[in-house]
């Protein structure tokens, strides 16, 4: 089975009906899992119990910064509503049909570039509040 490639796909951020479509700005993005395992616990009688394992989820990547769109831009949303929950829908490859939805806690995007003439782009890493929901296509 050949590997699936990133794109064409979609990324929308914000409340349904007022979301911002930044699909054509995303240069790369991925949902990752951080595994957190607590230290084992040794009881008085000498037995050892495994530490609890929890998972945190993150959406990270690189995105072109659109400052021309003003208040309707992801840049403005990231600054004006930093730390606030924002709904998202991420479809990394429309033809394959798998999507991820959930709630991001966004932080401000960078403004600037390394050299004159370079595109304005920003790396980002946004926590996902809770666990993302994945929807898979129905295979006939």
The answer, yes or no, to whether residue 1 has pLDDT greater than 90, is no
Mean pLDDT lowest among 20-24, 49-53, 99-103, 105-109: 49-53
Average pLDDT over residues 99-125: 96
Q: Are 37 and 53 in contact (CB under 8 A)?
A: yes
Give a yes or no: residue 9 inside a domain.
Answer: no
Closest C-alpha to 123, from 115, 133, 114, 136: 114
102 occurs within a structural domain:
yes
Evaluate whether residue 93 is within a structural domain.
yes
85 within a domain of the structure (yes/no) = yes
Asked if the structure places residue 88 within a domain, the reply is yes
Q: Phi, psi at residue 133, to the nearest 5°?
A: -105, 125
The pLDDT tens digits for 38-85 are: 999 998 998 999 989 999 999 999 999 998 877 789 999 999 999 999
Which pLDDT does position 15 carry in this prediction?
87
Q: Is residue 5 part of a domain?
A: no
Total count of domains within the chain: 1
Q: Over pLDDT 70: what percentage of the chain? A: 99
The parent domain of residue 111 ranges over: 15-135
The answer to whether residue 2 is domain-embedded is: no
pTM of the model: 0.88
Tens of pLDDT along 75-101? 999 999 999 999 999 999 999 999 999
pLDDT score recorded for residue 139: 75
Query: Residue 68: which residues within 8 A CB-CB, separation 6 or more?
Result: none
Average pLDDT value for residue range 18-27: 94
86: its two tokens: 């924002």
Does some domain include residue 3? no
């Amino acid at each position: 089975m050949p590997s699936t490639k990133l794109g064409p796909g979609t990324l929308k951020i914000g409340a349904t009906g007022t979301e911002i479509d930044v699909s054509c700005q995303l240069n790369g993005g991925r949902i990752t899992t951080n595994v957190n395992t607590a230290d084992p616990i040794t009881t008085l009688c000498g037995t050892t119990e495994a530490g609890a394992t929890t998972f945190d989820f993150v959406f990270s990547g690189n995105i072109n910064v659109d400052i021309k769109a003003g208040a309707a831009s992801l840049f403005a949303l990231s600054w004006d509503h930093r730390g606030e929950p924002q709904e998202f829908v991420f479809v990394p490859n429309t033809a394959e049909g798998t999507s991820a939805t959930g709630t991001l806690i966004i932080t401000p995007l960078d403004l600037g570039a390394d050299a004159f003439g370079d595109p304005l782009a920003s790396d980002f890493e946004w926590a996902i509040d809770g666990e993302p929901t994945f929807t898979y296509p129905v295979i006939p």
